[in-house]
Amino acid sequence: MPERAEPLLEVTGLAAGYGRTTVVRDVDFCVQPGTWLGLLGANGSGKSTLLRAVTGQIALQAGRVLIGGVDIAAQPERAKANFGFAVDGGDLPEALTARQYLEMVGSIRGCACDDWPCGDLIGPLGLESWMRARIGDCSLGTRMKISLAGALLGGPRLLILDESLNGLDPVVSWRARGILRELVQDGAWAVVLSTHMLETVAGNCSAVVFLEAGCVTHRWDAADLQDARMQEGGFESVVMRALSPSLN
């Protein structure tokens, strides 16, 4: 029997929030290499808070997060070396140019500023003419491309994307999904994507977790997703039925 690979991300009994307020609680999930996990939920359901907790930006109120087997609370720097996080476009350093941003991320990760696991990314993401522009002068979509390029730099095995595919133009969005899909199919990488785009989830994810009021209320694994694709209305109608029993 083949040995099961170590999970790239293991979240157990997680609770997190701000100050004394708990936003997400009792969250458990596991991301194996070669999987693409979709994180769904309404606005304010706690997706971004969950990702902030997973990436070590806010303190855990309970539970444990292991990234590549490293506890993020005990060894944050070591754990953070195991994932790439595409930050929100508005959080990028506006005073820097796109190239300077990639050089900064590269210098932190100890790699060159064009060391991507999938070859060149500047061309496929359409960033050629923006590399010398200040990030503050770039549109939201361009910022998301820069952020995505930064997350992939150095080839971390786990990619965490917080609504990072929103705002991309259709061609670049298609290319970006293709690049991520290839990495996942390679078997060594995994992606966690928080999004509202159900078609992206249905077409790419191998597992889906749905958050409601800070708790995981629904889960779909690869087999469920395969079934959903066969049904009339696809995954979208499955989600809608699960959320609103009256639609049945």
Site residues, other proteins (CB under 8 A) = 18-21, 52-53, 55-59, 72-73, 76-81, 83, 85, 87-88, 91-96, 100-101, 103-110, 136, 150
Closest distance between other proteins and the C-beta of residue 232, in Å?
41
Closest distance between other proteins and the C-beta of residue 138, in Å?
14
Q: How far apart, in whole angstroms, are the C-alpha atoms of residue 55 and residue 93?
A: 19
Closest distance between other proteins and the C-beta of residue 77, in Å?
5
40 or 98: CB nearest other proteins: 98
192 or 202: CB nearest other proteins: 192
What is the CB neighbour count within 10 angstroms for residue 44?
12
190 or 228: CB nearest other proteins: 190
56 or 124: CB nearest other proteins: 56
Closest distance between other proteins and the C-beta of residue 126, in Å?
22
